[in-house]
Structure 1
Amino acid sequence: MTQIITALSDVSDRYKAMFVDLWGCVHDGVQALPDAVAALQAYRQSGGTVVLVTNSPKPRAGVRDQLGIFGVPDDAWDSIASSGDSARSAMYRGIVGNKVWFMGEEERDAGFFEPIRVVEDPVEITRVPLDEAEGIVCCGPFDATADPSVNRPEFLYAKQKGLKLLCANPDIVVDRGEVREWCAGALAQLYTEMGGESLYFGKPHPPIYDLARRRLAELGKMVPDSQILAIGDGIGTDIAGAMGENLDSLFITGGLAARETRTSEQPDPGALEQYLGDQQMSPSYAIGFLR
């Protein structure tokens, strides 16, 4: 049974580390959420460790820079594990070949192709047109407001060629302020539905959790899974991933599922129970917003 709590401090002393989602929890894609920042600062001051675990296709350095732009202070977190870093490692190991067709926004996603240090003898990656590609690297749609179905012609061709699609962000949608946008996960989902093969490296899939645990180890923190709390607003990513990893989880209902859970300040208990039942998910805790 999911317990509705009023503040992170209600349960934080049970955990030595937290894997915290960013978008919808710590910021809204435009600016930091002050109550969430304060809650994480207080947790760290009490001795806890915060690893930001994000499905952003950006490398860790790019996520850090973005946090500064949004106004998330450095003392609210300890390390970052991004879907981008996990996917980049796979790309430079040659999982989709040497010649790739890139999907994403040039300026925003350029960092994905920066050299990588953690892969020994990385393959050389060349971006090419689709008809020359050995695989697809998808950081997101070309237009985040356009329905993913606009990519059907390219995906049909790619499927016929047998190309694998590397998905650098398994999220389906995000809310940038008040605007809902499509993510790479929606494109990968469409490609799979059309009979193509999509490869995932962010939440809810295991590679990003392995990376998050390595980030803890880099900090000298050997924390058992029983003392890690995963926090997020994505029922199919953050919560599903936590359950798959056997981690306790805190569901932020005021993000992507605000309407379904009737969240103003806190979720409506009946609506929350109905939603979780429909999704067949059982997070340990729920709260309207991280605070």
Structure 2
Amino acid sequence: MATFYEQRMFNLFERYGISKNAQNMLKQYEDFMTARVDEAAVGRLIRLSPNNRAALTTTMGKCAKMAGKEPGELKHCLAIIDSCVKMLQIADKSPVQEGFPSFKKLPSEIRNRIFYFYLGNHSEAAALIPFPKHGECVCAPHEPPLGVHFIKKNISAAFTSKAMRDEVLACLYRKRAFHFPCACEMHYHLTTNDALKELIRTFHWCGIEADKGIRGLQDMKQLEYLTVIISKSTTKHVTQREKEIRKYFMPKRGTNVLPEALGFDELIQLRGLSVAVEHVAKRKADRRSDDEKGSLNALLQSRVTKPREDSDEETG
């Protein structure tokens, strides 16, 4: 069977009086036969355009008349009629009901917008609390206020596949804040969940693994702002240096100060952050004095806000 380009080269369209619409459809059929367009596209061109359908039926009638008048044109006429018949058959096929397209085929911007509403990541969304505690410390966990219950966050979509898990959790971790009851719990999540590292903003400085938890913040180059929450529990565990000193110098009862607290050395080694110090909620632990809060805040402002050493090396 002659191709569309051969038919045009033989000047068949002008000699048979074939309209422009019919020529365009014959070109589309040629593209379909060479896999340039799919069957659905050809069918839509005919179903959605009465003019294209009428052009095909008219072309079949013209070719039939031409074949009767000129037997030498029979081969070309039959080829054009055959193409028109097959295009009409394609158009008359019942379209396959595929429903909503595959979710992964949607643009990433649309998928992220859907995740935004699915996860409730609006500006006034409440902070998320990992519950129950997974760390092995004895620090007090988060407890809901009286008459209020924690509501479990539904992220079932994250468990449908690995690709979905990465997208859902990335959207969740980028937009929502997480509150940890102690530095021990923060250390547990920093070591078991790499993606969560991008969200650490606030932690309660206390716990038997406070030094490890705060040390983990030093590797978080994307961290820009940090809030340190202090309480009487902050000095419940002291540094190894302080333990050695106390073998020889017994402290006075109830005189533990913040520089003795476990994690203090790691905290003042942080760099390149905007930092703030806050009191713990009264219902969770005993508060320290405002004087201690102000002194720690002044110390951290003078040290933690300095540029990171690695950034100095790059610019130098």
More helix by share: 2
Higher strand share: 1
RCO comparison, higher one (Cα < 8 Å, 6+): 1
Larger-Rg structure = 2
TM-score, scaled relative to structure 2? 0.25
TM-score under structure 1 length normalisation: 0.26
